[in-house]
Structure 1
Amino acid sequence: MRYLELNSEVLQKKDGFFQLERDREAVREFEAEVAGRLRTFRTPVERMRALVAEGYYENFLERYSEEAIAELSGLAYGYGFEFQSFMAISKFYKDYALKSDDKKHYLERYEDRVLAVALHLAQGDVEKARAYVRAMMEGRYQPATPTFLNAGRARRGELVSCFLLELDDSLNSIGFNLNTAMQLSKIGGGVALNLSKLRGRGEPIKGIEHAAKGVVPVMKLLEDAFNYADQMGQRKGAGAVYLNIFHWDVEEFLDTKKINADEKSRIQTLSLGLIVPSKFFELAQAGREFYVFGPYSVYKAFGQHLDDMDLDRMYEQLVTHPEVRKRPLEARQMLMRIAQTQFESGYPYIVYRSNANAANPLKGIGQIKMSNLCTEIFQLQSTSVIGDYGQPDLIGYDICCNLGSLNIASVMERKNLQESVHTAMDALTAVSDLFRIPNAPGVQRANEDFHSVGLGAMNLHGYLAKNHIPYESEEARDFVRTFFMALNYHSLERSMLIARQKGRTFAQFEKSDYANGVYFERYEHTDYRPRTQVVRKLFEGIAIPTPDDWSRLKAEVMQHGLYHSYRLALAPTQSISYLQNATPSVMPVVEPIETRTYGNATTYYPMPYLSAETLWFYKSAYAMDMYKLIDLVAEMQQHVDQGISTVLYVTSQTSTRELARLYIYAWKKGLKSLYYTRTKNLSVEECLACAV
């Protein structure tokens, strides 16, 4: 295939630099192939009639006039869109474009997919559909893969594909959540489950000592379930399991990822995450031992589950209580063990639970307990109690990840940050309002009550490089401090306006830090406008919220409420970043030309805005100071009500002790999680479940 040859020639330097023009030639070659397989129509309306009649599209003609469809199609095509890389065009037509049932013909160009998404999300509102088309065609907002792929199709998957579930300590709950996880996996969902309430290995069942088998057998059941429910073989099921570090089985939990683990206990495909309260880090810093506890004995002694406790406050009581089963481990040795396991496997993820709850604006309503497969989701959760057959169930709150991202470069260069955030919030709200998954009742209930969304951002490294700003610099920190403050402001502003329009807030809004005004106090007393001349220039022409603006917004939110309980979450974008000609999420890139292998084909993706001048600003993440990376994330995190998927990049020269120091530094800087640890000699698959 000629386009693959051309794409590979990008790496063959000419006059000392990459042949980037070869990538553009590869795009044109691929376009020629697409043209030969594209089904064409005389007019947009004729096309819509045919694809609706043939069962490819939902019946847009019921909600929109033919004139509106023609106008919106003309708007999309009027931008003269061109794919900016071979990776982008091949990714779009391979994974996103609607195809005929026999797969021989393409039924959509990029503009047609944007139109279908906009029509679906707008639900008959032409003005909103127009705003969605503009935001997507201008590259300012990109829905996550589940939405961008499925919206508008008559035979489609769900618009969200990432979920969080919590198990209670009963066989009923294990069976219920196993089934729920399979139901969600069947529709393309990635599922994270919190196992921290399960009794530890050797604890009693109905008074019989040593009867409980612990968490590892449940992990094996879940791994088999995800392997079985694999979207009809098109895509592997994806799951993650989380465990509290004070749980009795924590050592066995970590050992499942050892290279030399016994096959009976080895976990190959599940992702692992540790829930770590601040108390553990305090003990590690002091060089003290820490105790792991039998969760069932804690529940018997206190009438409360270990994982529902504030362990920063309750830890010493658990240690001294005579009826609580416990054993000591060395805290610093555990840090080393975690670091070693990460070097071997990339896991476990780390959730800084105390940090997450300290910053939780809904702490008066409920606790944040865990995160998702990509560690950016932090929402309150409550456990469902599953009764025996014929008995009622008490359904709690589980979580779905409803995601989309702004392209920082496009938003900044078009000078319309407020409009972009408002449009993105409207699009995410539409997904939330349309969401229906009856086979996951806890997820359904939480969505109906809380309308949580996760607006993120991508192309940070690309935007900084384009403007000749080093990723590790003070100017970079200055930029994100202002940008994410403004993102926070405008997302709150739009949520308030939606609540006012609908006459409805999220459930128990009156118990939140938004209702009492506490959330806004730091913004009233701190000016987050740019401090450096370089960043001031970038924001010229963009209205930046001032402390006075925050005071006005505070009064409006206290009066009208908010529609969304949670608004912001920075996921590890990948596929949609290619479409947007963007660097993934807010993380640094590994190399100026990325190499991706799909099946037998290797594709090369030059970073956006790459030139001889910007090359020096695409410093590899592996060559960066991870402390400065954490500093940059910390500047963003203070403005993001959920989390930021944060990857650590280390080399074979990095010691386990140094990696452990990074864990502690991230905790002290207020991060809520750490995602993978990547090393140069370790290849870990991208998070497929978030697929954003």
Structure 2
Amino acid sequence: MEEKINVLHVIKRNGDRVSYNEDKIKIAMGKAFSATKNIDVFRSAQYKTVLNELTSQVYQEVQGFIASHKDITVEQIQDIVERVLMKVGHFDVAKNYIIYRNNRAELRKPEKDQDSVSAFFSQFTVQNRNNESIHIEPDVFNRFVSLVAKGFPEVDLGLIKSESIKTFYNNIPEDDIIEGLILTTRAFIEKDPAYNFVAAGFLLNALYQEILGFFDRPALSVLEKVSFPYQDIFPLYLQAGVEAELISPKLLEFDIEKLQQSLHPERDALFGYLGLQTLYDRYLLNTDDKRFEAPQLFLMRVAMGLAINEGASKTEKAIEFYNLLSSFDYMASTPTLFNSGTLHQQLSSCYLTTVPDDLYEIFDSIRDNAMLSKFAGGLGNDWTPVRALGAFIKGTNGKSQGVIPFMKVANDTAVAVNQGGKRKGAVCAYLETWHLDIEEFLELRKNTGDERRRTHDMNIANWIPDLFMKRVVEEGSWTLFSPSDVPDLHDLYGRKFEERYAYYEQQAAEGKIRNFRVVEAVGLWRKMLSMVFETGHPWVVFKDPCNIRNPQQHVGVVHSSNLCTEITLNTSKDEIAVCNLGSINLANHIIGGVLDREKLKSTIRTAVRMLDNVIDINFYPVEKARNSNMRHRPVGLGIMGFHDALYLQNIPYDSPEAIEFSDMLMEQISYYAIEASADLAVEKGKYQTYEGSLWSKGILPIDSLAFLVEERSEEFVRVNYDTRLNWDLLRQKIKKTGMRNSNIMAIAPTATIANIVGVTQSIEPIYQNIYVKSNLSGEFYLINTHLVNALKKLGLWDETMISDLKYYDGSVQKIERVPAELKRLYKTAFEIDPEKIIDTAARRQKWIDQAQSLNIYLDHPSGKKLDAIYKQAWMSGLKSTYYLRTVGASSAEKITSVVEETTYEEAIVCSMDNGACEVCQ
């Protein structure tokens, strides 16, 4: 095929001679077939064969034409395509191909946008906000579009005008004109990322108008570009928010004039369309669905809320926090953004609970779930203590129905009590692998079976001890127990767990424990992985590294993670663990192609302070959560835009350089974050349970890596110990200062806040280079700006490249004219070796005191691949994994330029911001 393409050349309409490209013929015919058959023929094996045969026939005729005419033009090739389609009897398809061809021709005609605009506004009226029918001068419309798009020469103004007018009608409401411009412009984002910011500009102008209307400012024409009077509106906004009982009156105690002067209106231009629309739909304060909060007011409100307890310096700290947020160098998590500065400052992201083995306390825990969910908390429940099916109940002289029915109640509670009316309730249930109900637990997300024993709305995760993994590797047996018979296993880990577990196995063998079951460890492992493949659950999370490296092991045990598997904090029947999250935007810390370490250090110091402040400010729906958070003061500083940071350094994600960068970067973050907490301890005091912690013994996260090897043995661990910084100096400092926070780092998914600031999520590789993302705010075209800029520099960004990207599902790997170095740099998630993703994550994990939300991407997975990847994750010292995503279940809609994230059902929830990920961030 490649040789044929190199032989023939085509004369374009501008006279250029280019290589004959069969893919373009196939795409054009495929669109005609899809329009005719009303299906996506690109997904059909039958039609792929048909297209290949037709493309071959076209090629033969093109060869014959060139033999007699020497040259061939694009139009002559299109004539041949029409003849071939009709020759083989595809008359309806030929008709649609002609229509497609004519439509393309229309698009190529010089746009007479001035004439079309004049024609519309001279013939039709517009309904203004006073319900009056008025005429609008065409120049007003043209000038408005030009002003909004100013600074973006890549944007075709004529195209925006002519296409948006097609959506207008006689007596159209003024506001619908803006809506038409937004919808039109967002559809062209695939042509150039500049359209993303122009669409945001139209939306921003509409938002300004809405807010000015709220404050009874003189009514402006919808087609007048607004310079929003931030400083004038700021005090009015605060007062209105307090009167509406949406903003805390304490915000009026700041130096309002000083804060007015510190606002940066120009930073509104940093928002892309997806980020601004998300903000508009779900974050900005409103009354009766009328927004009165502009983006910089929103960010200042969040900053003021976080500085509310800073005493005499609260105004200065609010400005410091605001500058960090508004520059997008760092972003707080969604609950913090929702509620900071309001009357209900529930700012924390995650709550972890342990459910005791007592009927009263089980339903007490479910009530806690409801209260925490009401105020936008994501939940992780440890269900391991609850006795298994068939276990004896002394109080009633009966037998237990096991843990599954109670999980069903928890599932339905999450549905009934959503998160403040803004998002779905979200909860994850954890169960240890030795629990007698584990096999039924693994099937909770199946779409078949008894619906009374299914939890379709709740995530589940397997809390796996090292001993089980060793038995899998050794192909040994595994014994399942009811926790009512082996109650201490829940609190044991490492060698102590192994010794006690062996003791109970002996007790069972001797008949001293009757309610147990022996299975093959490999068989249970395979069932676990098959359920992960089939349903996306349970997530695979490792108990022992979470506990062995836990800085707080002197005061408790980590019994589960959270909703997104990155939080590893102690829980008990008396303590609900709480974590506050926020993430550094790495893309903003790569300056001139290198990491700006001083800027990173500065960002971290301010971010850690903001996170620590959340603990004192936070509204706690449950007293057990308050007590726990005040005692231990854990926070979770994370990162986002990791793949952007690699792009900015020209480092491929699956390269050795990426692994080294990940190591170096996380060492810097770990060092500066620990140092920042130590400095806070000098200013504000150590956390209550500091004495006896690993910190107090001079054992930092990098040091605790050795404990894992000691407990597990070197046979089952492969880790890297390299360091670059002077850690002895930091250890000496901590001996003098102590620590303000028991835990400091955790890498969350950042599903929504990454959208807001416009970077790749968390530590994730980019999903595809062009696709459509769906979330609660609608559908959004996303395109890899780094790739577009690289192709522009080479003169390769054109309509053909866009079509090729769509055809190849956002991949550049099969596009011939893309240079090899760009193909390597711009691999997408499923094109990156998952082993490299795990290697990169392992280098981060050695520096982190908590965990990281790590998705696994597999191109055409098999049982063997799954087995190898998850064993590698365990051997590499990872504490947790998150979703498994596979390319086999993904889809590409080539007709409408849409590539949708359609992996497992729950992976869709994650990527669509409706569930787990968004709860954290």
Structure 1 length normalisation: TM-score?
A: 0.88
Displacement of 1:552 in angstroms is 2.0
After superposition, the C-alpha distances for 1:564-604 in whole angstroms (9 at most, x for unaligned) are 00000000001111121211001112112342224694211
Q: 2:248 aligns with which of 39, 58, 68?
A: 58
Q: Equivalent residue of 1:351, what SS?
A: strand
The letter for the 2-side match of 1:22 is: Y
Structure 2 residue identity aligned to 1:257: R
Counterpart secondary structure, 1:642: coil
Structure number, greater radius of gyration: 2
Per the alignment, residue 609 of structure 2 pairs with 426
- Partner SS, residue 296 of structure 1: coil
The 1:364–1:620 alpha-carbon spacing in structure 2 relative to 1, beyond 3 Å, is same
**What is the aligned partner in structure 2 of residue 257 from structure 1?**
445
CA distance in 2, matches of 1:337, 1:80: 51
Higher mean C-alpha deviation, range 508-517 or range 177-186: 508-517
Partner of 2:755: 578
The match for 1:674 is 881
Q: Find the aligned partners of 2:181 and 2:583 in 1 and give their Cα distance.
A: 33
Tell me by how many angstroms 1:670 deviates: 0.4
Distance 2:920 2:705 in 1: 37
1:441 equivalent in alignment to 2:626: no
> Conserved in 2, the CA contact under 8 Å of 1:399 and 1:446?
yes
Of the three residues 329, 334, 341, the one matched with 2:531 is 341
Structure 2 residue aligned with 1:318: 504
Is this contact kept in 1: 2:339–2:346, CA < 8 A?
yes
Q: Post-superposition shift, 1:254?
A: 0.9
Equivalences for 1:130-149 in 2 at 5 Å?
Answer: 130-149=319-338
Alpha-carbon distance in structure 1 between the residues aligned to 2:778 and 2:699: 54
Which segment drifts farther, 271-280 or 26-35?
26-35
Task: Spell out the pairing of 1:108-187 with structure 2 (5 A cutoff).
Answer: 108-123=293-308, 125-154=314-343, 156=344, 158-187=346-375
CA distance in 1 between counterparts of 2:296 and 2:777 reads 29
Deviations 1:432-479 (A, max 9, x none): 111231x42221111010111000000001111122110011111111
Q: Give, as a single letter, the amino acid of the residue that structure 2 aligns with 1:365.
A: V
**1:642 is matched with which residue: 845, 850, 862?**
850
**Cα displacement string for residues 315-362 of structure 1 (whole angstroms, at most 9, x for unaligned residues):** 211110142332111111112111111111111111111111222222
- Return 230-239 or 562-571, whichever deviates more: 230-239
Question: Is 1:24 the counterpart of 2:253 in the alignment?
Answer: no
2:450 alignment partner, SS class = coil
Residues 43/518 of structure 1: CA separation in 2 closer, same or farther (3 Å cut): closer
Q: Give the drift of 1:691.
A: 3.9
Distance 1:320 1:87, change over 3 A: same
Q: Equivalent residue of 2:639, what SS?
A: strand
**Superposition RMSD in Å:** 2.4
Q: What secondary structure sits across from 1:611 in the alignment?
A: helix
Which residue of the partner structure matches residue 163 of structure 2?
none
Q: What is the Cα deviation at residue 430 of structure 1?
A: 0.9
Provide the identity percentage.
Answer: 27
Judging by fraction of residues, say which structure has more helix.
2
Task: Please say if residues 373 and 689 of structure 1, whose CA atoms lie closer than 8 Å, have aligned partners that are also in contact.
Answer: no
Task: Please give the TM-score of this superposition, normalised by the length of structure 2.
Answer: 0.67
**Contact 1:594-1:607 within 8 A present in 2 as well:** no
1:82 equivalenced with 2:311 (yes/no) = no
SS for the counterpart of 1:613 is helix
Once structures 1 and 2 are overlaid, which stretch shifts more, 282-291 or 132-141?
Answer: 132-141
Q: Deviations over 1:179-204 (max 9, x none)?
A: 11111112222211111011110010
Which residue of structure 2 aligns with residue 398 of structure 1?
576
Can you list the C-alpha shifts for 1:116-169, whole angstroms capped at 9, x where unaligned? 111111125122112112211222110001111211234x46112321110111
1:43 Cα deviation (Å)?
A: 4.8
| Secondary structure, counterpart of 1:247 in structure 2 | coil
Partner secondary structure for residue 188 of structure 2: helix
1:659 aligns with 2:858: no
Which of 352, 375, 378 does residue 568 from structure 2 map onto?
Answer: 378
Listed one character per residue, the Cα deviations across residues 200-241 of structure 1 (whole Å, up to 9, x for unaligned) are 100100176761010110111111211111246543211111
Match of residue 597 from structure 1: 774
Per-residue deviation, residues 353-402 of structure 1 (Å, max 9, x unmatched): 11112222222332212100100000122x22xxxxxxxxxxx2221121
* One-letter amino acid of the counterpart of residue 464, structure 1: L
Work out the CA distance in 2 between the residues paired with 1:43 and 1:257: 50
1:588 equivalent to 2:790? Answer: no
Q: Is the Cα contact below 8 Å between 2:237 and 2:292 reproduced in 1?
A: no
1:272 is matched with 460
Structure 1 unaligned blocks of 5 or more: 12-17, 385-395, 526-544
Contact 1:336 1:657 in 2 (8 A): no
Letter aligned with residue 583 of structure 2? S
Corresponding residue to 1:230 among 390, 414, 418 = 418
1:114 alignment partner AA: L
CA distance 1:608–1:168, shift in 2 (3 Å): farther
| Aligned partners of 1:162 and 1:689 also within 8 Å | no
Q: Which residue of 2 aligns with 1:534?
A: none
Contact 2:641–2:763 (8 Å) recurs in 1: yes
User: In the TM superposition, what is the alpha-carbon distance from 1:98 to its structure 2 partner?
Assistant: 1.7
CA distance in 2, matches of 1:418, 1:675: 29
Q: Is the 8 A contact 2:357 2:386 kept in 1?
A: yes
Q: 1:568 aligns with which of 734, 741, 745?
A: 745
CA distance in 2, matches of 1:308, 1:45: 56
Aligned-partner SS, 1:518 = coil
Identify the residue that residue 10 of structure 1 maps to in structure 2: 189
Equivalent position SS for 1:291: strand
For 1:146 and 1:523, the matched residues in 2 are separated by 32
The aligned counterpart of 1:606 is 783
- Conserved 8 A contact 1:259-1:344: no
Q: Quote the residue 1:459 is aligned against.
A: 641
Give 1:426 deviation, angstroms. 0.6
Q: Which amino acid aligns with 1:603?
A: F
Q: What does the per-residue CA deviation read over 1:8-61, in whole Å, with 9 as the maximum and x for residues that have no partner?
A: 2333xxxxxx43233233222222322331226635334434443443422245
Offset at 1:89?
A: 1.5
Pick from 480, 483, 493 the counterpart of residue 662 of structure 2. Answer: 480
| C-alpha distance 660-261 of structure 1, shift in aligned 2 (>3 A) | farther
- Write the distance in 2 (CA, Å) between the matches of 1:51 and 1:645: 36
| Conserved? CA contact 2:608–2:673, under 8 Å | yes
Within 5 A, what are the aligned runs for 1:404-419? 404-413=582-591, 415-419=598-602
Contact kept? 2:549, 2:701, Cα under 8 Å: no
Letter in 1 for 2:599: N
Does the C-alpha gap of structure 1 residues 71 and 305 become closer, same or farther in structure 2, counting only changes over 3 Å?
same
Question: Match for 1:83: what amino acid?
Answer: L
Change (3 A) 1:449 1:599: closer
Aligned residue for 2:189, secondary structure, equals helix
Q: Does 1:96 align with 2:283?
A: yes
Task: Give the distance between the partners of 2:780 and 2:705, measured in 1 at CA.
Answer: 49
